[in-house]
Amino acid sequence: MIIKTTYYGLISEITHCESEEIAFEGLAVSEFKTLLFEKYPLLKGTVFQLAQNNTILAEEATITNHEIALLPPFAGG
Amino acid sequence: MNRYSKHIILDKIGKSGQEKLSNAKVLVIGAGGLGCPVLQYIAAAGVGTIGIVDFDLVEASNLQRQILYGTKSLGKNKALEAKKHLENLNDEITIVAYPFRLEHKNALSLFSEYDIIVDGTDNFATRYLVNDAAIITNKPLVYGAIYKFEGQVTVFNYNNGASYRCLFPQENTQALNCSQIGVLGVLPGIIGTMQANEVLKLILEIGDVLSQKLLCYNALNCSMQIISYSKNEAAIAAVLNNKANFKHTVETATCLSSNEIEAETALALENTLFVDVREPHEEPKLHLDNLLAIPLHQLEDNIHKIDTTKRLLFFCASGVRSLQAIQLLKLDKNTETYSIKNGIKSLLKYIKNEKIES
């Protein structure tokens, strides 16, 4: 399936885009992360949460929706 | 007309609501970009007791967004300056300034004096400290955070709801604070005002509190997305289990990671190769014989250029990308790799000026 992936904050600087379509033939969150890490090695050292359908995904969840967001924590104040 | 008449004529507030505001005690941690608008609006709204914690002094680069301060505030403590300004704004409320650093040893007693905590801090270590102290003292925590043109708002620990550790469990993150990177001046104004709104809703018990919902705002495209997250009971239990040791926790903000090295130490080492991982446009440049410049994103492709028999000393503007460089390269254990703490700024302190082209 094609997943519309949106990147926030620091993540969008690593990916050099705010959103893109990624072809993904798996189910597990871990598989999707592996795919992202292959595409963007710098993401490996970065903290972020994955959200699907506007809900943060648990590590053991499955990817069923075609829209995913990568959310890093922000420190600034 | 009464100072609060526009509140009082609202059905959802009325005289009783205004009394709730007057009886409320709110503690704001950090009187910077976020803290200033929070303080300004909750003081104007008549929150009866407001505490302000900030050890920092006003700098010229703060004035672009920290709207409680002016040119005359430069060099003065932020908590004390904010108190002075807010007392002029509203003389019917009590404002307490705490002109010192929030630490594990003082957080619990401070938090226990207030009903609601507001996080306006600028680093992860303090954010986890604020979160944990709010859990232990059982206070709702109104969180706001910013990065360049984006902001996040949520409320933690509300009616036994989720905490910061439920949303972001990992403590080792590398995002920078605003003193190291740019931020659009109006952004903390928007995010801080949203935090003030959550504070007022909590006190007035009206509307839907942003509990277990993270509001993500992008100033460039005006998008606002609300992301739901769940409570992680184990993460909260772990904080509560550590309650007895909390006060004795050593502050982590100043800890060096094993790969970090002070510039002075780095310059004293022999058989070294300095690697500048900044982008080509970043200044000032450093001129050393043993220097290689490879931007972080090109590092993997240029790994062959690095002489791994040398001690590798990575640096960037602040010491963040250089740490990433080490993680990225995953060099053989026989190669010594270091990230220079505080990057170029620190190096410049120890290198003679004639070598620098700014």
* Digit-coded pLDDT (tens) for B96-124: 999 999 999 999 999 999 999 999 999 88
Q: For residue A60, what pLDDT is reported?
A: 87
Residue A54 touches partner B, C-beta closer than 8 Å: yes
Q: For residue B172, what pLDDT is reported?
A: 57
Residue A7 belongs to some domain of the structure: yes
ipTM: 0.94
Chain B residues closer than 8 Å to A54 by CB = 225-228
Q: For residue B260, what pLDDT is reported?
A: 77
List B357's β-bridge partners, or say none.
B285
Residue B123 belongs to some domain of the structure: yes
* Digit-coded pLDDT (tens) for B158-200: 999 999 999 999 775 554 444 567 899 999 999 999 999 999 9
The verdict on B35 and B147 lying in the same domain is: yes
As a whole number of angstroms, the distance between CA A51 and CA B101 comes to 35
Which CATH number is A38's domain given? 3.10.20.30
Residue A76 touches partner B, C-beta closer than 8 Å: yes
As a whole number of angstroms, the distance between CA B8 and CA A76 comes to 35
The verdict on B105 and B152 lying in the same domain is: yes
Residue B252 belongs to some domain of the structure: no
Q: For residue B274, what pLDDT is reported?
A: 95
Is the model's pLDDT at B354 over the cut of 50?
no
The reply to whether B178 belongs to the active site is: yes
Residue A74 touches partner B, C-beta closer than 8 Å: yes
Is the model's pLDDT at B208 over the cut of 70?
yes
The verdict on B228 and B325 lying in the same domain is: no
User: What domain range includes position B99?
Assistant: 5-246
How confident is the model over B138-158, as a mean pLDDT? 97
Which CATH number is B222's domain given? 3.40.50.720
Which CATH number is B352's domain given? 3.40.250.10
Which residue type does B131 have?
A: N
User: What domain range includes position A63?
Assistant: 2-71
Is the model's pLDDT at B288 over the cut of 70?
yes
Residue B251 belongs to some domain of the structure: no
Scanning chain B, the segments in alpha helix (DSSP H) are: 5-8, 14-23, 35-44, 78-89, 104-111, 124-136, 164-167, 186-204, 233-241, 243-246, 263-268, 321-329, 343-350
* Chain B residue at shortest CA distance from A13: B297
